[in-house]
Structure 1
């Protein structure tokens, strides 16, 4: 088994000529590190445009295609035909389905939401499901996809042959051949739920549903810059004041303080619960949670989602434990296939392997003749581009540069692995496989205080593309150190630099405890945060990494 890569290269992004830079200079460097230099971009970053004012042109969405959708919706209103909003079973797709279904329902259309069952129907449009829906509902005249469809050209043709118009709304990377639906509302600039929200806005203007777009955007791990930042920031504001019974029941069940909800709460507490249903059972219950008007039903569904998420966590650990026991290749993409791997969690297992070994990983669930695969990547290696080079071996697939999914004949897995090695090994250089800790700026403790913390807070919401600012201070003295947490995995430190003394917490770095002594000098990379304990609020350093002198 290959060794876990622990070494991280510190990469300092910004430089200053002053030992104690001004707050204005720090702000300028932090913005430049995120590609923000022009005054208008700075204004947009700190005061993101409300999604109501984002133009179709700026988002890369065709106004002509949206106009066609509006006309088709008007026709459906008059005819009374059935419209189905055909979503996806992940958090982004479920949230987008809720947004679009609720908006069309408010226009008194004959409209139903539909979420496919992962294991029997799979991702996106399913030929058998389209035929069954038409048989059960002869008046079905329009299907609107949410968060899928850009690679479903053949399925669109099946629907058209049955007399069903299809509107595709999607944000995934297109394949070599685009589908030919009635209308195509597509851009890669925003999330699937955001595309659905924009279409809903164009059909009937309203701010409703922005809280769901924040969940979808953060859950899909999109870069929180540009329009995604606008959706995340304004959507989080809406989430903190949401009156949705299901979401409020979920907050209570999960122990979330509503007015403190940020990217962490969405990404690690809310979204995993919404996703859990589609991974293990059926995502329709997550949709019901978002849309229910019944308080008791909301509580029951919130408990169901939480229970299912606990079961999901247990199954992921089983898969990862088994995968770690396998003999992993020392070069190229990690590819693991087994009959025991639960199809609903292979993406999470792949992500865990990437985190552990810092190499792209594909985990494949073998079930009979057809296997389902999920891929996760690292910065600098476009996983979907690599997979597309050998798509002649695949049944179907799609995704992003950092994540992808596909199905493949079980008998072709070995050849797939061999050909992917030929593609990936030359590309996965030592440079790309070296994990980096990007540091914004080197400063001293004299710079640290409430004003800098206020500046740091103004960069929220942070995440991919806009990480929380990280600083470096060298030659820091260790006044006090102790291990905390279960199995003594964390460090609680009192540190001093110059005349300034500060408290710090270092998660996962408890193993360094024996190397620290009262006269030790260390370099620390850290983020700033407030820590409230026993009613007292103080500045605290959240340490990312430590280098011993």
Structure 2
């Protein structure tokens, strides 16, 4: 697929030279820092060595004082507390973190957790969950990763004598729910300085505030930061500011050989085949998250929480094996439905030529349609909505391309919908079956009128030009000091022009991948791999020079490590 190469502006040369001299660090590394807004010695120090002491005071969050006061009241009046979370990774890790910490204070008899059934109760707070809490004597519910729009549900709970503390990170609606406290940095009246916490991050701040108000030791809370790291990675929130600090320390816990790994996460690591090397954000996104998510998509998300809370390796492995099997089943659904969806596009001329994709099939599994939407987006780069039937309605997931607000496009079709929610790049929606055809027509019209031609071409953002001779172990080790990488702090992408494949080294591996050894006129040879770039093999094998954009990686093979370029794209002049 053709890609747009977008070159970031070069940073101010004087700032680069000044900071490079102050830090005694390679100018290319300093240029990367300045591009990310880190232009002073103190900013660089905080970036390379983020400390927990520098995190914002949790009491800055609106309603935090009320939330802490209600928790303390429940603690000393011996009330029962229910920890309630969504069924995705952010929700289940939130529940595991908050439940673990509060259990040490309240004791096992006065605390429990609840995850709604995706298919029976749907997303977020449910009347069924509230009824269960009231029937079992719970006076307080701490809702995590959900609740900020649950006005009617929380009103229902209040009428039944059940209080709520909401810990959410989604955009609030016009009216806040009548909870004791609504903790959400995205509230328009919330002065908390960092707005991009995950749901688990908001729960962590509540526990941090509780600790400090009562003079408790924070170390037991810090021991739960591995769960917080999984949440941040899986929910694709920016790895900037506070999130980057939390991720940095969470990964340190996961990778420190002197710290015993949480049994549930250790079991996941084994089942995901991540036995060697340090865990990274990518490890958590692609190794841990799908397995935790699968339980909520196809089975019972409480299994994921039980796995994360396991106290022994035997317990954890038994539960993780079930979760892993569920993930295998999920992959089967995912693959089959993706093939069907792509076939629908490929055999329909109108769909192929459209500016958007809207597909509906009654028997597609609701639990994987978000994944299928992402797969279709990868193949046909345009705003995509995948719908299936559930409880007599059409329900689905939307995904978007860089720079196009799919939530706004859906909003303009809202008279056809029963409910929808989400953000610029991902959304969920439900509508009557009889409205599907009209929604497809209207959504296509909105997208076609708004989207720019260049937005239909996937972008590759390039940080800096970098000649191959500059890719050394010393440079790579400095580059790794910029980790953890992720959204908002991506792994740097470099450009090199007029490179050649060493004769005889280019080959196609797998079905569509390109493996080769590269050189420039003034460089040593370096191995490279380009996933999905095999279409370039013919011209490369003829010895023609070409341009590349790439990231720097390490290849480990039979105990030997070597630097390797991971090609993002290949260009020809």
- TM-score, normalised relative to structure 1: 0.92
The answer on whether the counterparts of 1:334 and 1:360 sit within 8 Å (CA) in structure 2 is: yes
Q: Deviations over 1:224-247 (max 9, x none)?
A: 111111121111112224531111
> Which of 364-373 and 383-392 deviates more?
383-392
Q: Bigger CA drift: 228-237 or 397-406? A: 397-406
Contact 1:372 1:406 in 2 (8 A): yes
2:196 pairs with 1:209 = no
Contact 1:478 1:518 in 2 (8 A): no
Cα distance between partner residues in 2 of 1:409 and 1:329: 25
User: Which deviates more, 111-120 or 27-36?
Assistant: 27-36
CA contact (8 A) 1:531 1:540 kept: yes
Which consecutive unaligned segments of at least 5 residues does structure 1 have? 1-5
Indicate if the aligned counterparts of 1:479 and 1:518 stay in contact, CA closer than 8 A: no
Residue 512 of structure 1: aligned partner: 536
Q: Counterpart of 1:222 in 2: which secondary structure?
A: coil
Secondary structure of the 1:119 match is coil
For each residue in 1:122-158, what CA deviation from the matched residue of structure 2 results, as whole angstroms up to 9, or x when unmatched? 11011233224323x1x22111110011111111111
How many angstroms apart in 2 are the aligned matches of 1:387 and 1:175? 16
Q: Following TM superposition, by how much is the alpha carbon of 1:332 offset from its aligned partner in structure 2, in angstroms?
A: 4.2
SS across alignment from 1:120: coil
In the alignment, which of 227, 231, 234 is matched to residue 242 of structure 2? 227
SS in 2 for 1:466: coil
1:245-272 superposed Cα distances (whole Å, 9 cap, x missing partner): 1111222222212651001110101111
Most deviating of 151-160 and 411-420: 411-420
SS of residue in 2 equivalent to 1:487:
coil
Distance 1:112 1:79 in 2: 17
Q: Secondary structure at the match of 2:75?
A: helix
Distance 1:52 1:279, change over 3 A: farther
The superposition leaves residues 93-128 of structure 1 with CA deviations (integer Å, 9 ceiling, x where unpaired) of 100111111111111251111011111111101123
What is the deviation of 1:427? 2.2
1:74 to 72, 84, 90: 72
Kept in 2, the 8 Å contact 1:472–1:525? The answer is yes
Displacement of 1:372: 2.0
Q: Give yes or no for contact 1:8–1:435 (8 Å, CA) kept in 2.
A: yes
Alpha-carbon distance in structure 1 between the residues aligned to 2:56 and 2:275: 30
For residues 52-88 of structure 1, the C-alpha deviation after alignment (integer angstroms, 9 at most, x for no partner) is: 833237xx722xx111112111221233332111101
Kindly indicate whether residue 156 of structure 2 is the aligned counterpart of residue 158 of structure 1.
yes
Residue 322 (structure 1) aligns with:
340
Equivalent residue for 1:88? 86
Residue of structure 2 aligned with 1:428, choices 442, 445, 451 = 451
Q: Distance in 1 between matches of 2:494 and 2:177?
A: 47
Q: Does 1:522 pair with 2:517?
A: no
What corresponds to 1:3 in structure 2? none
| Count of residues in correspondence between the two structures | 536
294 and 535 in structure 1: CA distance in 2 versus 1, 3 angstrom threshold = closer
- The structure whose RCO (Cα within 8 Å, separation 6+) is larger is 1
- Counterparts of 1:306-455 in structure 2, within 5 Å, are 306-326=324-344, 327=348, 328=351, 330-455=353-478
CA RMSD of aligned residues (A): 2.3
1:279 offset after TM fit, Å? Answer: 0.5
One of 522, 533, 547 as aligned partner of 1:498: 522
> Which structure 1 residue ranges, 4+ long, deviate > 6 Å from structure 2?
none
SS in 2 for 1:180: coil
- Mapping of residues 120-199 of structure 1, within 5 Å: 120-135=120-135, 137=136, 139-188=137-186, 189-199=196-206
* SS of residue matched to 1:311: helix
Matches within 5 A, 1:60-71: 61-62=61-62, 65-71=63-69
Name 2:112's counterpart in structure 1.
112
More deviation in 210-219 or 441-450?
Answer: 441-450
Q: 1:292 to 1:319 in 2, by over 3 A?
A: same
CA distance in 2, matches of 1:538, 1:276: 35
Between 1:263-272 and 1:201-210, the stretch displaced more is 201-210
Instruction: State the Cα distance separating 1:16 from its structure 2 match.
Output: 8.0
Identify if the C-alpha distance between structure 1 residues 14 and 171 changes in structure 2 by more than 3 Å, giving closer, same or farther: same
Partner SS state of residue 179, structure 1: coil
The answer (yes or no) to whether the contact 1:150–1:174 under 8 Å persists in 2 is yes
Distance 1:488-1:169 versus aligned 2 partners, 3 A rule: closer
For 1:543 and 1:113, how far apart are their aligned partners in 2? 45
Q: Which moved more, 1:379-388 or 1:268-277?
A: 379-388
- 1:461 counterpart (458, 480, 484): 484
Change over 3 Å in CA distance of 1:131–1:258 after alignment to 2: farther
Q: Which runs of 5+ in 2 are unaligned?
A: 187-195, 212-217
Q: Following TM superposition, by how much is the alpha carbon of 1:333 offset from its aligned partner in structure 2, in angstroms?
A: 3.4
- 2:190 is aligned to none
Q: Is the 8 A contact 2:500 2:540 kept in 1?
A: no
Give SS of 1:107's match: helix
Work out whether 1:291 is the aligned partner of 2:286. Answer: no
Q: How far apart in 2 are the matches of 1:414 and 1:329?
A: 17
Change (3 A) 1:483 1:131: same
Q: What is the rounded CA distance, in whole Å, between the counterparts of 1:193 and 1:521 in structure 2?
A: 49
